[in-house]
Amino acid sequence: MATVPSVSDRRVSLGRVLNRAFAALGANAVTMFGIAFLFSALPIALLSLWQSGMGPTRDFGTNAVMTGAIYLASFVLTQLAQGGLVRATIAHSDQRRVSFGDCIATGARFALPLLGLGLLLGLALLVGFAFFIVPGVMLYLAWAVAVPSLVVDRSGVFAAFGRSAFLTRGARWNIFGLGLLLLVLYYVLIAAVGVITLAVTGLPTVARGIEGFTTLSTLLTAVSTTITTATVAAIQTSLYVELRDWKDGPQVDQLSEIFA
Q: How confident is the model at residue 240 (pLDDT cuts 50, 70, 90)?
A: very high
Bigger pLDDT: 211 vs 237:
237
DSSP readout, the chain? -PPPPPGGG----HHHHHHHHHHHHHHTHHHHHHHHIIIIIHHHHHHHHIIIIISS---HHHHHHHHHHHHHHHHHHHHHHHHHHHHHHHHHHTT----HHHHHHHHHHHHHHHHHHHHHHHHHHHHHHHTTSHHHHHHHHHTTTHHHHHHHHT--HHHHHHHHHHHHTT-HHHHHHHHHHHHHHHHHHHHHHHHHHHHHH----SHHHHHHHHHHHHHHHHHHHHHHHHHHHHHHHHHHHHHHHHHH---TTTTGGGG-
pTM for the structure as a whole: 0.83
Residue 258 has a pLDDT of 60
Q: How confident is the model at residue 7 (pLDDT cuts 50, 70, 90)?
A: very low
Distance (Å, whole) CA 152 – CA 158: 14
Is 3 within a domain? Answer: no
| Among the listed residues 227, 231, 223, 226, the one whose alpha carbon sits nearest the alpha carbon of residue 194 | 223
Bigger pLDDT: 64 vs 158:
158
How big is the CA angle at 50 (ends 47 and 52), to the nearest 5 degrees? 110
Is 2 within a domain? Answer: no
Mean pLDDT lowest among 1-10, 25-34, 95-104, 247-256: 1-10
Is 157 within a domain? Answer: yes
Q: What angle, 0 to 180 degrees and rounded to 10, lies between the N-to-C axes of helices 157-168 and 146-153?
A: 120
Sign of CA dihedral 119, 122, 124, 126: negative
pLDDT at 53 over 80: no
Is 10 within a domain? Answer: no
Determine the structural domain holding residue 219 and report its residue range. Answer: 19-259
Is 35 within a domain? Answer: yes
pLDDT at 62 over 90: no
Is 11 within a domain? Answer: no
Pick left, alpha or beta for residue 202 (phi over 0 → left; psi -120 to 50 → alpha; otherwise beta). Answer: left
- Please state the φ and ψ torsions of residue 11, each to the nearest 5 degrees: -130, 145
What's the mean pLDDT in 63-67? 71
**93-152 pLDDT tens trace:** 888 888 999 999 999 999 999 999 999 998 988 888 787 788 888 999 999 999 999 999
- The one-letter code for the residue type at 140 is Y
Q: How many domains does the chain have?
A: 1
What's the mean pLDDT in 156-170? 94
What's the mean pLDDT in 163-190? 90
Mean pLDDT lowest among 40-54, 170-184, 216-230: 40-54
Is 228 within a domain? Answer: yes
SS3 of residue 134 by DSSP:
helix
What's the mean pLDDT in 23-36? 94
What's the mean pLDDT in 194-213? 58
Residue 3 has a pLDDT of 40
Residue 222 has a pLDDT of 86
Is 36 within a domain? Answer: yes
What's the mean pLDDT in 182-202? 77
pLDDT at 197 over 80: no
